[in-house]
Chains A and B, each alone.
Chain A
Amino acid sequence: MPVMEYIDAIRLAMKEEMERDENVFVLGEDVGVKGGVFTTTKGLQEQFGELRVMDTPLAESAIAGVAIGAAMYGMKPIAEMQYSDFMLPATNQIISEAAKIRYRSNNDWSCPVVVRAPIGGGIFGGLYHSQCPESIFFGTPGLKIVAPYSAYDAKGLLKAAVRDPDPVLFFENKKCYKLIKEDVPEDDYIVPIGKANVLREGTDITVIGYSLPLHFAMQAAAELEAEQGISAHILDLRTIQPLDREAIIESARKTGKVLIVHEDNKTGGVGAEVAAIISEECLFELDAPIQRLCGPDVPAMPISPPMEKFFMLSKDKVKEAMTQLALF
């Protein structure tokens, strides 16, 4: 099994799906000739031609609209939003059209579109290149949302998203692109949408999260185990809509002490829903108040490096929160 970067796994998933099914095509800003601003689609236009790897105008609502129309027509588009920050002009298309067409047409029509969008900060991107828009789409019935943390999951979830009969938002973390390297099989496999994954078994505290902050949680857990004998149980949600309720409850029960981490801001985030599920389903097995460690409720990621560092989650911040919960 070759070691590859998170970004390579995403590229490989698209390549394999395009080879498997000629209805799969990619569209977005700079995805063709340039191969994507992050090189996510590099080489795809050379292999599949410009009709299947299309450079679009700088108009996200058009990218989403074209993709949704093509999907309703039977194609399998993968629409790339260059940064999830730029996705907002497309929200109307995604929420009002893609998410609702199956319901609205009484099951006659469907929209098997995948919208890929890089999320997250810590890359010196400032306001317009660092946002986490999960909470905007989260809670919209009809949409599936995945946000892989590992390279293995990134490939498997993207392949599952392409094959899914309904719209899937694929939130890839741009900081993970080069940071996460691991063994990724070169053969065809999928990671099922809607299934969370236990990254680490433990008995003292439970950490639940998705995307980049899990990287910090895993590092912190290793250190806490070695330094203080604290054993952390870590659950990767992988899919944030629909949430894997059973896995969340099972992980919460395991230790009775739950810390939820995500980079999207705290208020109204995915963590709030996870906390609500836990308090609904297993209040009597909780040993501590449910904790959330999230991005602060401030309007935007600062561009100033010290301020960005203040804003972002880190191994140290996660470790501190995990320690406090373990001590409680």
Chain B
Amino acid sequence: MPSNKQLTDVVMPQLAESLVSATIGKWLKKPGDKVEQYEPICEVITDKVNAEIPSTLDGIMGELLAEEGQEISVGTVICRIETEPTPSAATASGEQPKAEAGQSAGVTTAETTDSSQRHRYSPAVQTLAAEHGIDLRSVPGTGLGGRITRKDVLAFIENGGAGALALAPSTTTAAVPQSVPVQQPQVQVAPGGISADLSRAAFEPVRHSGLHLTETPRIPTIEVEGGDRSEYFIDVTPIRNTIATRMRQSVSEIPHGWMMIEVDVTNLVQLRNKIKDEFKKKEGVNLTYLAFLLKAVVSAIKDYPIMNSVWAVDKIIVKRDINISLAVGTEDSVLTPVIKKADQKNIAGLAREIEDLASKVRAGKLKLDDMQGGTFTVNNTGSFGSILTQPIINYPQAAILTFESIVKKPVVINDMIAVRSMANLCLSLDHRILDGVICGRFMQRVKDNMESYSLDTQVY
């Protein structure tokens, strides 16, 4: 059979990048089975893929060289497939050995006769010859083209060939300086490296560049030196650092949306003017417009609870308690103390809370507890004369509302011009949670609440 049939090797292919071997799972063809090109011949298992190996040609399965369960390197023959012999393949394989024989013969002849490199001395050979006072003409060369190699010189010295050593002491001393400067640079490397390490350690604790991060900066107790006539420096206080961090976090994380509505507060102004002096006398605190606004906002949140929520990436957390953070500014900072369960309080109660928190802020007596748990922020920006603001959301809340200055304006009512007390309300919203329609409804509800105050409204 082998005389007129030809056996072709099938090798383990590269099944996946980085794989160098694979395990034979199961042979699908047995010796003697007919095999067609691309037909699976065996299953293989690797830690990346399980695959079937297709046949590379038509024929009959000859012998299996790998067993099931055996790990085979990529490129190793796994089986042989019998095919009809092709005449061209037979002649090609017959010609090859001749060519190889011719090549190797050429190499051996060249080696024995060529001495073209006999007088090419390498730097190492010259160095050794000079050090040992060797006449290189007497050293046999075994290198390519009869070249004297470094090893030839060393062997020559070892065999006592360095007889000329005594004759030429002057050449020995002349040769030594050549190698000395070569060695010096390496010796100096080590001490340089050590001193650099030491100086680095000494500098470690000082930090004088970079922006604020999370660490608490030093409290500025002394005026900071530095700068020149055109500028001076202010150290960042811990509170400034906190504000900066929170603001940056809010602006960079929350996609802010913004809207504004105008509210007619004429009735509210009349109501407040009517009762504020008596209220002050009775309660000892000022009855501010802000208290009425808070009541209006809290009632509107009750109707639209989504305003009182937090974005939590895969869900939105809606807070049941309505805790209003009240932005209270001082000369150099802004704080947001919290009125807890604001929905449980009437206007009088809110007015008292506002006064309490504001005085605590000014006296610097806020406790941590006063600052925590806010769910929605209100800022009375009108108190410093603003008529329009674009507030930054108090992270991680969903929205912030500002109450702008009350301004008397001509307003068209029933096609007649009237002078009315108007105020703007601005809302910044977390657009991940809230959209225009819901916020528009919310703001409309706040507006309705504000405009429905009348002389009959009860503050208790």
Contact = CB atoms under 8 A, between A and B. Distances in A.
Given A204-B151, A327-B144, A286 B210 contact: no
Interface in A134-192: 174-175, 177-179
Contacts of A175: 18, 20
B21 interface: yes
B207 interface: yes
Contacts of A38: 18
Contacts of A249: 186
Contact of B125 (A178, A179, A255, A287): A287
B174 interface: no
B122 A288 contact: yes
The A contact surface, by secondary structure, is loop
B250 interface: no
A124 interface: yes
A77 to B, nearest CB: 17
A54 B204 CA distance: 31
B122 A123 contact: no
Nearest to A5: B20
B18 A108 contact: no
Interface string A245-256: 110010000011
Contact of A108 (B144, B186, B206): B206
Contacts of A288: 122
A178 B18 contact: yes
B124 interface: yes
Contacts of B17: 123-125, 129, 174
B39 to A, nearest CB: 22
Contact of B122 (A108, A256, A282, A327): A256
B207 A108 contact: yes
Contacts of A286: 122-124
Contact of B124 (A108, A246, A287): A287
A39 interface: yes
A283 interface: yes
A97 interface: no
A171 B312 CA distance: 39
Nearest to A72: B210
B213 A73 contact: yes
A306 B14 CA distance: 13
B210 A283 contact: no
Interface stretch (B60-68, B177-185, B257-265): B177-185
Query: Which one of A109, A178, A204, A286 has the highest number of Cβ atoms from chain B below 10 Å of its Cβ?
Result: A178
A274 B17 CA distance: 31
A328 B20 contact: no
Nearest 9 Cβ contacts at the A-B interface: A287-B150, A287-B124, A256-B124, A123-B17, A256-B150, A287-B122, A284-B127, A284-B123, A178-B20
Given A287-B125, A327-B144, 19 more contacts: A106-B208, A109-B210, A123-B14, A125-B17, A177-B18, A178-B18, A178-B19, A249-B186, A255-B150, A256-B122, A283-B123, A284-B182, A285-B124, A285-B179, A286-B124, A287-B122, A287-B151, A328-B147, A328-B149
